[in-house]
Amino acid sequence: MDMFIRDATEADLPAIVDIYNQSIPAGWSTADTQPITVADRLDWFRKFDPARRPIWVAEVDGQIAATAYLSSFYGGRAAYDATAEVSLYIATAFQRRGIGRQFKQWVIAECPRLGVTTLLSMHFDHNEATRRINESLGFQPLGHLTEIALVQGTKRGLVISALRIPPKPETP
């Protein structure tokens, strides 16, 4: 499999929105219950910063197959500057091919450059694929907020996991 990860551009937004919307019907990935639109997400997209809080896309065989991005934690208060949350979405047709694990591993490798030393992953407690990926990459589950979401009529909990990443060594 030929995978190429790069910073997303605004031209990628329709594909990003489409991939995100594909995850809604399954009911185990996102707390959104209705599809989002490109217009909904334009301001959101423009706030990403490739030097600090990037959004990436992964192209597989020339097609945009996945997106991942980092968000600041807790409204971006300064004390949390070195903490970011990772979000990862693989298009349905490309799932279960190892792309999710490989993409998250790549995001982790980018963290020192971005000044991120604590990477958070928040996922529903019935999201088995994310649980498996996180466990294999060394994330530690730190919290479980039980029954805080209502998804398709069922109460679901949120697991918060963290990976500690050594900072980039200072250059003399």
Ligand X SMILES: CC(C)(COP(=O)(O)OP(=O)(O)OC[C@H]1O[C@@H](n2cnc3c(N)ncnc32)[C@H](O)[C@@H]1OP(=O)(O)O)[C@@H](O)C(=O)NCCC(=O)NCCS
For ligand X, the binding residues in 25-64 under the rule CB under 6 A are 29
Quote the CA–CA distance of 56 and 107 in Å, as a whole number. 9
- Given the rule CB under 6 A, which of 4-12, 74-82, 89-97, 146-154 is the region that contacts ligand X? 89-97
Q: What tokens does 98 get?
A: 């190892």
Residue 165 is encoded by which pair of tokens?
Answer: 């990443």
Q: Which of 9, 33, 105, 136 binds ligand X (CB under 6 A)?
A: 136
Q: Does 105 bind ligand X (CB under 6 A)?
A: no
In sequence order, what E strands does 61-153 have? Answer: 63-72, 83-90, 118-124, 140-151
Q: Count H helices and E strands in the chain, helices first.
A: 4, 7
Q: Which stretch binds ligand X (CB under 6 A): 44-52, 82-90, 139-147, 155-163?
A: 82-90
Read off the tokens for 92. Answer: 């349905």
Our finding on whether 67 is near ligand X (CB under 6 A) is: no
Q: Specify the residue, 41 or 101, whose C-beta has the smaller distance to ligand X.
A: 101
Which parts of this chain interact with ligand X (CB under 6 A)?
Answer: 23, 29, 87-90, 95-101, 123, 127-130, 132-133, 136
